Structure 1
Amino acid sequence: MLTRIHSVAGGLALVTILTFLTATVLAETFGATATVVAVKTAIPWGFLILIPALAATGGSGFALARARSGVAVDRKRRRMAFAAANGLLLLVPSALFLSFKAQAGELDGAFLAVQALELTAGGVNLLLLGLNLRDGLRMRSIRRNQP
């Protein structure tokens, strides 16, 4: 059951981050100013899904890792620590800043600079979660194939 919680929560977190990034890129590339404002305003509301999903993923991951050791488990732990710090120190403040700036109609240089930072940091977190997904699938496959 814990493995299922970990898988579902991790998948939900990954899809949520991918949705944030995709919506941002599409709005900035093809959308009108109103679209950018709507996307940047909606993203902090998405934290109501993302933060519990990440918390459930982290909590279940630590519980699952207690009984395991090895290189893959250590890599997943390091990646998640970096992703959590990246999210708390860069992504959440950036998203809130961008939301406030967009709602004020200030899509200026500061907005664009923080937007570039957010896209980069979000891409890094997407990559880290994707790598953890890959390693988790490998670990599950190895575990199922053992007698």
Structure 2
Amino acid sequence: MKIKIHLVAAVVATLCISTFFTATILVELFGSKESIATVKNLIVTPGLFFLIPALAITGISGFNSAKNRQGRLISNKQKRMPFIAANGLLILLPCAIFLNQWAATGTFNPQFYIVQAFELLAGAINLSLMGLNIRDGLRMTGKLRPSKAQ
């Protein structure tokens, strides 16, 4: 049961971040200032209310599941998690809040776009690391076999 909770939480967190990332890019390319403000608002509310618990559940359940396990895959996942958490709490969360506040007031200045670029970079890094963790988790459970190149 713990593994299923971990898997669901990890998938929800990954889908949240990928949705935020994709929506941001699409609205910037094709949307109006009003639609940008709407997306930024939806990312904060209700988006973060799904993402933050999903990340917490993923981290806690993963930590608990890993207590009695050893090996390269578990070690790699454990090394990535602090960076994913720090990136999320120290970069992505403040960026989302600031961008939402600026977009709500129509402040689309160079600082907005610098912070947004920084947010997209941090989001891409987290998505990559989370994808690696999902891959390694699937390998640990035997649902994904290692590639021949390894």
Q: What TM-score, normalized by structure 2, do the two folds share?
A: 0.93
Distance in 2 (alpha carbons) for counterparts of 1:26 and 1:78:
32
Q: Which residue is 2:80 aligned to?
A: 79
Q: Please tell me the residue identity of whatever aligns with 1:29.
A: L
The runs of 4+ residues in structure 1 deviating greater than 2 Å are none
What residue ranges of structure 1 are gaps of 5+ in the alignment?
A: 143-147
More helix, by proportion: 1
Shift, 1:106, TM fit: 0.4
Per-residue CA deviations over 1:19-60 (Å, capped at 9, x if unaligned) read 000100000011111110100111111110000000110011
- Shift in Å at residue 12 of structure 1? 0.4
Quick one: distance in 2 between partners of 1:136 and 1:29?
35
- What residue is the counterpart of 1:103 in the other structure? 104
Which residue in 1 is equivalent to 2:91? 90
Percent pairwise identity: 50
Q: TM-score, normalised by structure 1?
A: 0.95
Work out the number of aligned pairs and report it: 142
**Partner deviation per Cα, 1:75-110 (whole Å, 9 max, x = no partner):** 101111100000111000000000000001001100
For residues 49 and 36 of structure 1, what CA distance do their matches in structure 2 show?
20
Any idea what SS the aligned residue of 1:141 has?
coil
Aligned equivalents of 1:29 and 1:98: distance in 2? 16
Cα root mean square deviation, aligned: 0.8
1:12 is aligned to 12
- Residue 29 of structure 2 aligns with an amino acid whose one-letter code is T
Unaligned runs of at least 5 residues, structure 2: 144-150
Provide the C-alpha distance between the structure 1 equivalents of 2:35 and 2:105, rounded to a whole number of angstroms: 14
Q: How does 1:25-104 map to 2 (within 5 A)?
A: 25-45=25-45, 46-104=47-105
